[in-house]
């Protein structure tokens, strides 16, 4: 009977979930890309597996409360303490579910590895992403252009992201396309996404980063054709896009000007879309490695507890003291 009820309730839960998901728009439950679709399926499967335990527990809690309510002539067994059948059920079912979830997690973790390039008959578009306070800079190294708070790419063409940060750690996330991944200063993380259809998708930072965090949003625009994307690229290079802010060349000086921000929360407004029609080729890695500029320079450690000379002298003193103690 319990098994039959579980099956019925699972079907009802699935029907309700499908109905609820049908009204979801613009988030992880309304995916528009290959990665997003696979992650949605993973969420649904994991939820249904957990409901196999949750729903029967809720049902039995209500059923037992009704069955053994005051006034019913049910058998009273105050010395009852063990049931092999109950022990088998309450242990076997969760163990089986955990094993299934473990297998699914293992497979999906490798299948959805954000560092793994997507299989496609088209070449990936390379985009370098830098999170700033409180804006997103997108650099197209192969195309020689850059944009602020607007990301464009053709639909059905995979995009390979290299992601870093100018300071505060952020999280690069386009919910409808799939995985989020962190941006950290002095480090480069990677992500591969694809849009299965043209459209405009919301991009956000999924990690709180200060006073202007709420305005740290961008639009990810998947153009209908590659020709439309190429026309946009040419428009950026020619500075011919109407209403756009064209900043010219993205070099170190203009990069540092863009990175400036006001700490006064009352004056923080979302940064408008901006374009750079040419870039310094090494601008991305220059600003990643600037945090490593003193790496290996041991002279900075002179006079500190990490000074190699002081460590050597201290080690000699310690060795001498140990020998003296041994002789005593």
Which stretches of the chain score pLDDT less than 70? Answer: 1-24, 26, 263-268, 293-328
Instruction: Round to whole Å and give the CA distance between 219 and 56.
Output: 43
Contact by Cβ (8 Å): 284, 130: yes
> For the chain, how many residues are written?
328
Of all helices (H) and strands (E), which one includes residue 248? none
| pLDDT score at 193 | 96
CB-count exposure of residue 210 (10 Å: 0-12, 13-18, 19+): middle
b/e 191-203 (16+ beta carbons within 10 angstroms → b)? bbbbbbeebebeb
Contacts of 225 (CB under 8 A, 6+ apart): 154, 155
What pTM does this model have? 0.77
Tokens found for residue 281:
């080729």
Cβ–Cβ < 8 Å for 205, 63: no
Number of other residues whose CB lies within 10 A of the CB of residue 322: 10
Question: What is the distance between the alpha carbons of residues 215 and 262, in angstroms, rounded to a whole number?
Answer: 13
In this predicted model, what pLDDT tens digit does every residue of 153-182 receive, in sequence order? 999 999 999 999 998 899 999 999 999 999
pLDDT of residue 277: 95
Among all chains, which residue has been given the structure tokens 């009852």?
80
Which residue shows structure tokens 């896009």? 241
Contact between residue 263 and residue 142 where contact means Cβ atoms under 8 Å apart: no
pLDDT in tens, 174-191: 999 999 999 999 999 999
6-51 pLDDT, tens digit each: 566 555 555 555 555 544 576 889 999 999 999 999 999 989 988 9
Asked if residues 301 and 308 have their Cβ atoms less than 8 Å apart, the reply is yes
Which of 181, 182, 232, 222 has its CA nearest to residue 201?
222
Residue 74 has a pLDDT of: 76
């Amino acid at each position: 009977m319990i098994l039959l009820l579980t099956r019925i309730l699972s079907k009802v839960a699935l029907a309700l979930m499908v109905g609820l998901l049908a009204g979801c728009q613009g988030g992880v439950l309304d995916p528009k890309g290959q990665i997003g679709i696979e992650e949605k399926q993973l969420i649904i499967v994991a939820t249904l597996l957990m409901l196999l335990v949750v729903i029967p527990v809720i049902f039995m809690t209500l059923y037992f409360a009704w069955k053994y309510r005051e006034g019913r002539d049910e058998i009273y067994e105050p010395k009852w303490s063990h049931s092999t059948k109950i022990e088998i059920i309450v242990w076997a079912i969760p163990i089986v579910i955990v094993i299934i979830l473990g297998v699914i997690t293992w497979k999906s973790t490798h299948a959805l590895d954000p560092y793994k390039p997507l299989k496609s008959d088209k070449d990936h578009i390379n985009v370098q992403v830098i999170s700033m306070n409180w804006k997103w800079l997108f650099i197209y190294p192969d195309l020689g252009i850059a944009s602020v708070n607007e990301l464009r790419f053709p639909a059905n063409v995979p995009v390979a992201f290299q992601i870093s940060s100018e300071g505060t750690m952020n999280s690069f996330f386009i919910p409808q396309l799939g995985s989020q991944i962190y941006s950290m200063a002095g480090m480069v993380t990677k992500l591969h996404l694809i849009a299965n259809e043209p459209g405009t998708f919301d991009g956000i930072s999924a990690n709180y980063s200060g006073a202007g965090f709420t305005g740290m949003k961008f639009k990810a625009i998947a153009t209908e054709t590659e020709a439309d994307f190429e026309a946009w690229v040419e428009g950026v290079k020619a500075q011919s896009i109407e209403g756009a802010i064209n900043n010219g060349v993205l070099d170190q000086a203009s990069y540092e000007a863009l990175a400036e921000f006001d700490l006064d929360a009352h004056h923080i407004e979302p940064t408008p879309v901006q374009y750079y029609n040419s870039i310094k080729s090494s601008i991305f890695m220059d600003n990643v490695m600037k945090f490593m500029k003193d790496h290996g320079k041991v002279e900075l450690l002179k006079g500190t507890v990490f000074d190699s000379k002081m460590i050597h002298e201290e080690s000699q003193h310690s060795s001498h003291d140990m020998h003296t103690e041994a002789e005593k």
